[in-house]
Amino acid sequence: MSGNFNLTLSLVVLLAVFFSANLQAQNALNFDGANDYVQTSFSGVLGTANRTFEAWVNVDANASGNVCVVDYGTNSVGSRNSFSVSGSNGLTFISGGTNANIGSTSNVVTPGQWTHVAFVLDNGTGYLYVNGTQVGTGNLSTVNTPSGNTNLRIGQRVAGGSIPFYGSIDEVRIWDYARSVTEISNGMGAEYCTLDSNLGAYHKFNHGTAGGSNSGVNSSYDASGNGNNGSLQNISLSGATSNWVTGYGLSTSSLAGTLSATGCNASYTSPSGNHVWTQAGTYTDTIQSVMACDSILTITLAFNTSTASSIVESVCESYTSPSGSYTWTVSGIYTDTLVNAAGCDSILTVDLSVNNSSSEFSVDACNSYTIPSGNNTYIFSGSYFDTIPNAAGCDSSMLIHVTILQNSSSSITASGCNGYTSPSGLYYWTESGTYIDTATAANGCDSMITVNLTIDTVNAGISKSGKTLSATAVGASYQWMKCSDSTLVSGEAGKTYSPNKTGWYAVIVTQNGCTDTSECLKVNIVGVEDYASDLGISVFPNPTSGMVTIDGGFNYENSQARIINAEGKTVRMIEKFSSRQIQFELGATGLYTVLIYAEGGYRAVRVMKTE
């Protein structure tokens, strides 16, 4: 702030500062008699209402014919208000038509000297005055000024003719009532400094520098307080004519008032702007009032101090400063200015966080994409907007570039020996058929695979007749082996094999592209042959990397099993199991013989333990 605050006024009149710095004391406006005039924004006193026109005029000695002082309205019967000095130096008012025009005798206005002229319309009767003396009267009962036409002109009549003023005009006053001769006489010699509600327009013409270069001083201030200012038309604004010139020597008065003021931080600028004071005390200043009169202020000045403070604010979208002067939408450190209790500036630092956020990112999605808010699901690629609350509870706006990828499908034909693991690794199938598996495609989406599966089996059955072992499979490839050390019997690749040494033997069968090993049977070359029972006992899986299952087909009483390693040592005994199935774990990798005894019979099976 400037430091001018906390003012207490006690004035004789209203001390509103005049808008222009170009007012000078006792000037007038000179018109060249050709095309100069002033066009104001005042519509005039309308209808049949009473009115008074006043002005000081100085008609040029070279003027010939009528010269218009003021006019407004339109060029129709009873509709204009041409107040003029006639070519015979008389005073006239012309509105047009019957009972609308009056005039004085000749030579009541002396060219080359200042003369006060006035016109009064009082209830249909007109009066003309020169220097406060009535010089003419007449019937003006048909005067009736319509609205919406030419506003008040000074120095020229309204359209329909041309009677430009030649000379100087000063102190133009338009009143909305009929002034008495006493009021005219008493008031014509002095400027008005007090607002009067009956004064519609008041042009003092105290502008510019008399006879100087006044380029840009091209308007006339309306001192009535009604704002009906005038625009200078075609006036040269330079030299002794068609310019601001010295006016009539009116008496002036000044207004007086007192002012209690508080300056801040040891600096105070006076109301006129002409002084800067840095110490408390009593001073005087001069300003222009609304009536364009000097107003002398006596100013009692004190000083206070500005203050500073800070606040922290957090908002979502925007923040209006405490003073209301600013609206901020971005986080940052800002300053605002308030007025403290002492009437001085309070500088406020605002640490502001604006917590709405925004982001932009891209996503790939399979078949469809549901935006983070869950409000929409899209099945086509594109750019989409979404808004969700962020950690501060404000809006998080997102621009999401979505690429929709598609799931795929395919079919394969596959085969396996005894079983097949699906492409995804999730399934293991042991029978031929058509299966569905789902894997991840290269684009990251599901790939649905139809598997046409053929499971190839191997008949790894074996039987013994005396000392001869026979493979059950027909049309297969065979290789006989010793179960004791898993060595192959060289040259023995037939369907049957008759060992020449006592021992445990099995056959490796290759059939349908798959290979499996039979159970181990003992062939006793010396001594009593092994008893080959018809027990329906099976041992599986074989080979195995985990648990081994013995399935007796049904429950046996007093059954037992012996597990023998490749060195012929018994590594485990399972006594008297009576359930149909039992499971157990083999030891280290290698070949084992599982001997099962039940109800007088036995079964010997070679089982391979793998890693």
Confidence label for 6 from pLDDT (cuts 50, 70 and 90): very low
Lowest mean pLDDT among 58-67, 155-164, 215-224, 540-549: 540-549
Residues 317-338: what's their mean pLDDT?
94
Residues 335-351: what's their mean pLDDT?
88
**Residue 2 pLDDT:** 40
**Residue 141 pLDDT:** 97
Q: Are strands 51-59 and 408-417 parallel, antiparallel or unpaired?
A: unpaired
Domains of the chain: 5-14+253-304 (no CATH), 27-246 (2.60.120.200), 307-354 (no CATH), 357-405 (no CATH), 408-456 (no CATH), 462-609 (2.60.40.3080)
**Residue 76 pLDDT:** 95
397 closest CA partner among 315, 313, 316 = 316
**Residue 339 pLDDT:** 87
Measured between alpha carbons, how far is 437 from 435 in angstroms, rounded to an integer?
A: 7
Measured between alpha carbons, how far is 275 from 23 in angstroms, rounded to an integer?
A: 19
Long-range CB contacts (< 8 A, 24+ apart) of 431-436?
A: 431/455
566 closest CA partner among 544, 582, 588 = 588
User: Cα-flanking dihedrals φ and ψ of residue 74, to 5°?
Assistant: -145, 160
Residues 163-190: what's their mean pLDDT?
97
HSE-up of residue 194 (Cα within 13 Å, Cβ side): 6
**Residue 157 pLDDT:** 98
Residues 196-219: what's their mean pLDDT?
95
- Residue 189 confidence (pLDDT) above 80: yes
**Residue 555 pLDDT:** 67
Residue 598 vs residue 202, higher pLDDT: 202
Average pLDDT, whole number, for the chain?
88
Instruction: For residue 454, list its beta bridge partners.
Output: 415
- Work out whether the CA dihedral 264, 265, 271, 277 comes out positive or negative: positive
Q: Please give the span between the terminal C-alpha atoms of the chain, in angstroms, as a whole number.
A: 91
**Residue 243 is encoded by which pair of tokens?**
């310019």
Q: What is the 3-state secondary structure (H, E, C) of 8-60?
A: EEEECCCCCCCCCCCECCCEEEEEECCCCEEEECCCCCCECCCEEEEEEEEEC
Chain segment 8-55, per-residue pLDDT in tens: 443 333 333 333 334 456 899 999 999 999 999 999 999 999 999 999
* CA dist 498 → 501, 593, 597 (Å): 9, 20, 25
Measured between alpha carbons, how far is 36 from 48 in angstroms, rounded to an integer?
A: 29
Measured between alpha carbons, how far is 482 from 137 in angstroms, rounded to an integer?
A: 159
**Residue 554 pLDDT:** 65
Chain segment 125-175, per-residue pLDDT in tens: 999 999 999 999 999 999 999 999 999 999 999 999 999 999 999 999 999
Measured between alpha carbons, how far is 532 from 151 in angstroms, rounded to an integer?
A: 140
Chain segment 287-321, per-residue pLDDT in tens: 877 777 877 889 898 888 888 899 999 999 999 99
- Residue 253 confidence (pLDDT) above 90: no
**Residue 278 pLDDT:** 86
**Residue 122 is encoded by which pair of tokens?**
């009082």
- Residue 4 confidence (pLDDT) above 70: no
Measured between alpha carbons, how far is 399 from 383 in angstroms, rounded to an integer?
A: 7
Instruction: For residue 136, list its beta bridge partners.
Output: 128
User: Cα-flanking dihedrals φ and ψ of residue 566, to 5°?
Assistant: -70, -15
Confidence label for 599 from pLDDT (cuts 50, 70 and 90): low
Chain segment 516-568, per-residue pLDDT in tens: 899 999 888 743 333 344 566 788 888 888 899 888 766 667 778 889 988 77
Q: What is the CA radius of gyration of the chain?
A: 61
Q: Model-level pTM?
A: 0.51
Q: Which amino acid is at 110?
A: T
Q: Are the CB atoms for 72 and 44 separated by under 8 Å?
A: yes
Residue 264 vs residue 283, higher pLDDT: 283
Confidence label for 464 from pLDDT (cuts 50, 70 and 90): very high
**Residue 531 pLDDT:** 37
- Residue 245 confidence (pLDDT) above 50: yes
Q: Helix or strand or coil: residue 299? A: strand
Buried b (16+ CB within 10 A) or exposed e, 444-459: ebbbebebebebeebb
Residues 88-113: what's their mean pLDDT?
97
Measured between alpha carbons, how far is 311 from 219 in angstroms, rounded to an integer?
A: 49
Q: Are the CB atoms for 221 and 21 separated by under 8 Å?
A: no
